[in-house]
Chain A
Amino acid sequence: MMENIPVLSLTILLPLIGALISFLLGKRGHMAKWVALIFSAAAFILSLALAYEFVVDPSSAAAGEIEGYSNGYQYYESHVWIEAIGINYIVGIDGISLPMFVLTTLLCMLSIIFSWDTDRRPKEYFGLMLILEVGVLGVFVSLDYFMFYVFWEIVLIPMYLMIGIWGGPRKDYAAIKFFIYTHVASLAMLIAIMAMYFEASLGTFSMEAIATQSVDFSRGMQVAIFAAMFFGFGVKLPMVPFHTWLPDAHVEAPTAGSVLLAGLLLKMGGYGLIRVAIPSLPSGAEDMVVVMAVIAVASILYGAVLCLAQNDLKKMVAYSSISHMGFVLLGYATLGELGVVAGVFQMFAHGLVTAVLFMMCGVVQHKCGTRLIDNLGGLAKKMPIAAALMTIGFLASLGLPGLVSFAAEFMVFAAVFFKWGLWIFLPIIAVVVTAAYYLWALQRSMFGPMTEKIDLSHVKDVDWYEGLPVAILIVLIAIFGVFPYLIFSRIGPAVEIALRAFGGG
């Protein structure tokens, strides 16, 4: 049914149109949320249809029969853009990008619903959110380095403005720190891209074409390029010691901004590593395995320990992201199929779970006027639904079996065990610490005696626009926790193709 429609381009275009309409609303700014909802929902429905039509295992079915199929990518579109230096508009989707793509349209739509009561400069707010969606979607389907970079950078500006305009008290500092930090990282990646382009000397920026050459680059060249890319993607991930922009940005960002930042922007780093760096530069990746593994374990442990020390709920969740994204990197570092699949799945899982957590932090902030754990206590009596949702979110994040994170983290551990044996004890410590900080925070903020530090008499439970997105996410967390196969089966074949250069993984 969707054979001849450029679905991917259309899905990227929809939010862009929505953003332009939103900016041009003039005095009817209150309509912006409707515009944003309609266009983000349309994009979401398109992406769902695309996921439904996606051929799970193209190698078993007759790949030739799939319309728009090319070398593992479906819905492939290719047009010449700048002929002079070989820049093309190439998009395509495979099992690695599909979960990210759908996650993006989903989280953007839910964040827009969650922001339903935003009345401060709504035109700009919803417009920028849609622009952000365009950028992130573009990153996940670009198959041309130049395009990839353009979309990658487009994401920065709306996020910078969102933190800077709608952010908390230290927004100025947080916004500029986020902007500069991630921009420097992007530039390292840019130099790596240029080096790949010239070293391959094919006169094209197509990722697939360059990958055919880059696997044969000299070892030194591969390591140099991989290191630059690793830095570029790693800062976004974020990895210790380049993580310090993240807590600042999260604490100051508006709730929806945090959801998109943690749910999607961090994924761009993890996605870039597996889409570009690892498959294109196998020798580089092999030489950097120890670096990757050490940084991953450091991120997992350091992030978790920092969580224990936090008094601000949102800051705690932010640090937990560092810890959880460390698992993605650890999975990749095994360079085996199991580990990489687990890493990609962990990105998807983290996207769902962290969105719940940030939304619930937003609810607490909204209703109680503070997120400081010391000032909270006994909220469950005043806002039972909120307490229930938050409890589920925390349990999901600490890896309760049956929920989505468990499946992902368990697989990462399995892959680490197969590869490095008993070294697994290091990352596994984090599981204990994670359970500790979540349960402790829950106990102090939601349960126990009612706090007297703040006035709880007017505190209401969650509003519909806050509860609905969280509920939807929780349902998905449960579904994919019980049936992780739904995602694995799609990631698997794509990862197999990505790891071809490693001789069967």
Chain B
Amino acid sequence: MEIWNVLDEFLPQLLLVLFALIMPALDYFFKDKRVLAFAALAPLVAYALALVSWTIGGYWEPAISEPRIGLLEVNLFSGVFALAFVAVGIIVVLSSPEFIKAERNQGEYYALLLLAITGMTVVALATDLIVLFVGLEVAGIASFALSGFSKREKRSAEAATKYFIVGGFSSALTLFAISLFYGVSGTTEIAAMGPQMDAMFADVDGTHSVAVLATVMLIAGLGFKIAAVPFHMWAPDVYEGAPTPVSGLLAAASKKMGFAALFKIFLLGLVVVKADWDVAIGIIAILTMTVGNLVAVVQTNIKRMLAYSSIAQAGYILMVLPIGTEYAVAGGLFHVLTHAFMKSGAFMVVAALAVRGVGESIDDFKGLGKRSPFLALAMTLFLFSLAGIPPLAGFASKFVLFSSAVDASIAPGGQSWLLWLAVAGVLNSALSLYYYARVVKRMYMEKGSDERIAIPKMTGVAILFALVMTILLGVYFDAVLELCQEAAGSLLQSVP
């Protein structure tokens, strides 16, 4: 194994870490803190370009070392997740300088941001439970600190504390589950878990129930990460308290990290015990989308509303696990991508308004259509996309996702109860339209102050980027959907 090969394969991660490490030095040397943002942008944009030219363009193949180093693997599955993380990273970094202008220690902010994204990509690349756990922790600890970045604000400090305690608890559960799995399978390699467990079930009595217990622990541990009901209580408080760009990162990227882990472990490692968890996760999925949407209806704070809406979105993506077909995984990956753009876009609109002194209450959006036509239009499109109105990205991915449930239920030999997932999904989409449309109503149909709002420039660029992608992925998603299908194939082909 040549050291250079490894370097080549994981160069993007190394670059992210490198830039994170030099960030404090840059902070020391440069008075204009926007330099930091551009420095943070550099490795992210480089990574994004490399990913796009690899996954969609097909112009370039990453040098994959042979033999594999075993713990991390670059494949299309990790590529799709990395795309989502990096895209959210770019959007968040772009809108940060204006938001945290008045704060000190900006170097740390960007360093933590880059480390968080590094951790997320490690989760996507991991083929081993321990490495996966390390990735979860790197991203998790960086996110705890980021949530508390606005030190002088009580809400921010509260959010960080809460997030830290809940995060620590969920890490402990996850780790406990991993150790149990090691006990019943004798391996921490995800792809090898299945066959090993199978052999163990036959040899040793009682191991099956240990595996089920471990699965329950894992659902709880990762359930906290993706804020699935009933492990969602922390999310609204944290998203509300954290600096808005960070909330965007948590909702649009951190959550996806949880899904990267879930998809891998459940669809790759735990297929042998699928009969034990598929109905349970199906119920959790339906509960998650329903509770998220119902509670979102009564929110008066836009960040809390978006938090509950992203809980609901997690419910939609969770459908993938019980369905488990390649098409469903493709739909899940597609939704991960589209959600990254529309949700981070929505948060950045809130951030842009906060920069201009507009509050976070939904009532503060009154008359926004007059005050800032661009921000109002962007918000409208993000929200309608989240609700799944065509021809926007959210519709396209929900379409694939829900139709995979229909597919699995009517296919010969399929499980007909899966149809209820699709039914719950569409009913929830209709429900969600109610609270999204209410924000649109505030913006266009109610009178507010007449004062125009100037759009903060860099945040505006970030919003425009998210907006273009939200429309593009809705109108022409052929290449991306094909990529998601191949990625789903690359994940499932290693199923024993």
Contacts and interface: CB of A to CB of B under 8 A. Distances in A.
A172 interface: yes
Q: Which of A164, A171, A179, A194 has the most CB of B within 10 A?
A: A194
Contact of A195 (B410, B430, B433, B434): B410
Contact of A183 (B422, B433, B440, B482): B433
B205 interface: no
B406 A198 contact: yes
Nearest to B428: A187
Given A83-B482, A195-B410, A198-B411, A180 B430 contact: yes
Interface stretch (A99-107, A152-160, A338-346, A380-388): A152-160
B481 A84 contact: yes
Contacts of A221: 410
Interface in B373-429: 384, 389-391, 395, 399-400, 402-403, 406-407, 410-411, 422-423, 426-427, 429
A154 B391 contact: yes
Contacts of B437: 160, 176, 179-180
Interface string A198-240: 1100000000000000000000010000000000000000000
Contacts of A410: none
A157 B477 contact: no
The secondary structure that dominates the B interface is: helix
A161 B444 contact: yes
Given A161-B444, A176-B441, A179-B433, A191 B390 contact: no
Nearest to A184: B430
Contacts of B384: 157
B60 interface: no
Contacts of A180: 430, 433-434, 437
Nearest to B377: A23
Contacts of A81: 476, 478
Given A84-B478, A84-B481, A194-B402, A165 B426 contact: no
Interface in A135-192: 146, 149-150, 153-154, 156-157, 160-161, 164-165, 171-172, 175-176, 179-180, 183-184, 187-188, 190-191
Contact of B426 (A161, A191, A197): A191
B473 to A, nearest CB: 11
Contact of A187 (B426, B476, B482): B426
B441 A175 contact: yes
Contact of B406 (A146, A176, A194): A194
A85 interface: yes
A62 interface: no
Given A83-B482, A194-B422, A165 B445 contact: yes
A153 B389 contact: yes
A5 interface: no
Contacts of A194: 402-403, 406-407, 422
Contacts of B433: 179-180, 183
B174 interface: no
A187 B432 CA distance: 13
B419 to A, nearest CB: 8
A85 B445 contact: no
B390 A153 contact: yes
A82 interface: yes
Contact of A82 (B389, B395, B411, B478): B478
Contacts of B400: 85
A82 B477 contact: yes
Nearest to A163: B445
B445 A164 contact: yes
Nearest to B477: A82
Contacts of A199: 410
Contacts of B477: 82, 84
Contacts of A179: 433, 437
B485 interface: yes
A187 B399 CA distance: 10
A226 to B, nearest CB: 15
Counting contact residues on chain B (CB < 8 A from A), the size range is 20 to 34
Interface string B459-496: 00000000000000000111001100100000000000
B470 to A, nearest CB: 15
Contacts of B422: 191, 194
Given A82-B477, A191-B423, A199-B410, A154 B430 contact: no
A154 B390 contact: yes
Contact of A172 (B391, B407, B441, B485): B441
Nearest to B414: A198
B392 to A, nearest CB: 10
A191 B422 CA distance: 8
A188 B429 CA distance: 12
Nearest to A195: B406
A150 B390 contact: yes
A199 B411 CA distance: 8
A21 to B, nearest CB: 16
Interface in A220-279: 221
A81 B396 CA distance: 13
A79 B403 CA distance: 23
Contact of B485 (A84, A150, A157, A198): A84
B308 to A, nearest CB: 18
B403 A198 contact: yes
Contacts of B427: 184, 187
A257 to B, nearest CB: 14
Contacts of A154: 390-391
A54 B440 CA distance: 42
A197 B403 contact: yes
B203 to A, nearest CB: 41
A164 B434 contact: no
Nearest to B482: A84
A116 B278 CA distance: 59
A175 B433 CA distance: 12
Contacts of B406: 191, 194-195, 198
A197 B400 CA distance: 12
Interface in B190-231: none
A388 to B, nearest CB: 37
Contacts of B481: 82, 84-85
A221 B438 CA distance: 38
Contacts of B434: 176, 180
A274 to B, nearest CB: 23
B363 to A, nearest CB: 14
Nearest to A153: B390
Contacts of A190: 399, 402, 426
A169 B344 CA distance: 36
A161 B384 CA distance: 13
B207 to A, nearest CB: 38
Nearest to A146: B399
B66 to A, nearest CB: 30
B444 A156 contact: no
A187 B445 contact: no
Contacts of A85: 400, 481
Contacts of A153: 389-390, 395
A417 to B, nearest CB: 40
A171 B440 CA distance: 14
A165 B444 contact: yes
B430 A183 contact: yes
Contacts of B407: 194, 198
Contacts of A175: 441, 445
20 contacts: A82-B477, A82-B478, A83-B482, A84-B482, A85-B481, A150-B390, A153-B389, A154-B391, A156-B389, A157-B384, A160-B437, A161-B444, A175-B445, A176-B441, A180-B430, A183-B430, A184-B430, A187-B426, A191-B426, A198-B410
* 4 A-B pairs with the lowest CB-CB distances in the bound complex, closest first: A187-B426, A150-B390, A194-B403, A84-B481
Given A180-B430, A197-B403, 14 more contacts: A84-B477, A85-B481, A146-B399, A153-B395, A160-B437, A161-B440, A161-B445, A165-B445, A171-B445, A176-B441, A187-B429, A194-B402, A195-B406, A198-B406
Interface of B: 384, 389-391, 395, 399-400, 402-403, 406-407, 410-411, 422-423, 426-427, 429-430, 433-434, 437-438, 440-441, 444-445, 476-478, 481-482, 485
